[in-house]
């Protein structure tokens, strides 16, 4: 009975074309947990593990960039208890995940405005970036967006450009789309080809606004 005895191949053939950059709006963690009678934070914990699983899978099938929306600039408005649980998850997870994923050839990076994060988490993120910097050019990049907002990112880029114009290092007529692209958190990576959002919500919630101009969306 071929259907039951056939083993799933671990990785598809390498010749198969794959997207260069896949991004995911990680949503539905709370509902996932609620459905199982668990606290919301249990859903976030499983979400964090799923990040590791999918990022490593992406590397194995040849997807060079994988980006996940983990905490938005709007998520601070959630109940303090949930924000604390998410911060604690970053505390226990980030460095350990970066080390274990580095061993599998995946460089973990963090994108977003990190300034409002607790100092110990920022220190951990600096270590995570150091681990990523130590990996060779063959490594895949898995980015976690923390305190990320697409509008906030564009506002910060505009502010930087305004400062450069004021200081005389940039003239307004030299501002192109590339000038803006180069000042986003994603400056070093190609735009996402595919953006996936699970949970049933059909919106972008302020994710990669500039970079998604030609992305294909998959809502599941």
Subset of 28-47 contacting ligand IPE (CB under 6 A): 28-31
Instruction: Find the binder of ligand IPE among 23, 27, 192, 195 (CB under 6 A).
Output: 27
Q: Which does 72 bind (CB under 5 to 8 A by kind): Mg ion, ligand IPE, none?
A: ligand IPE
Inter-residue contact 211 to 193 (CB < 8 Å)? no
Q: Which does 140 bind (CB under 5 to 8 A by kind): ligand IPE, Mg ion, none?
A: none
Inter-residue contact 69 to 145 (CB < 8 Å)? yes
Nearer to ligand IPE among residue 48 and residue 107 (C-beta): 48
Residue 112 engages ligand IPE in binding (rule: CB under 6 A): no
Contact pattern for ligand IPE over residues 115 through 144, marking x by CB under 6 A:
------------------------------
Residue 199 engages ligand IPE in binding (rule: CB under 6 A): yes
- Positions annotated as catalytic residues are 27, 75
Residue 70 engages ligand IPE in binding (rule: CB under 6 A): yes
Which of 116, 124, 126 minimizes the C-alpha distance to 148?
A: 116
Contact pattern for ligand IPE over residues 78 through 97, marking x by CB under 6 A:
--------x-----------
Q: How far is the CB of 47 from ligand IPE (least distance, A)?
A: 6
- Site of interaction with ligand IPE (CB under 6 A): 25-31, 69-72, 75, 86, 199, 201, 203, 205
């Amino acid at each position: 009975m071929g259907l039951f005895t056939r083993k799933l191949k671990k990785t598809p053939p390498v010749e198969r074309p794959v997207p260069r950059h896949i991004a995911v709006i990680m949503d539905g963690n709370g509902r996932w947990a609620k459905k199982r009678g668990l606290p919301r934070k249990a859903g976030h914990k499983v979400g964090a593990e799923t990040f590791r699983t999918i990022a490593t899978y992406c590397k194995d099938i040849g997807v060079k960039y994988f980006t996940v929306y983990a905490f938005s600039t709007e998520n601070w408005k959630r109940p303090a208890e949930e924000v604390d649980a998410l911060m604690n998850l970053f505390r226990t997870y980030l460095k350990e995940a970066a080390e274990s994923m580095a061993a599998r050839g995946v460089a973990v990076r963090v994108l977003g405005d990190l300034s409002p994060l607790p100092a110990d988490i920022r220190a951990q993120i600096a270590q995570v970036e150091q681990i990523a910097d130590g990996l060779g050019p063959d490594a895949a990049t898995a980015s976690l967006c923390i305190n990320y907002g697409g509008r906030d990112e564009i506002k910060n880029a505009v502010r930087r450009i305004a400062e450069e114009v004021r200081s005389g290092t940039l003239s307004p007529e030299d501002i192109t789309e590339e000038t803006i692209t180069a000042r986003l958190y994603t400056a070093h990576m190609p735009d996402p080809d595919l953006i996936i959002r699970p949970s049933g919500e059909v919106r972008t919630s302020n994710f990669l606004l500039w970079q998604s101009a030609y992305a294909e969306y998959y809502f599941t």
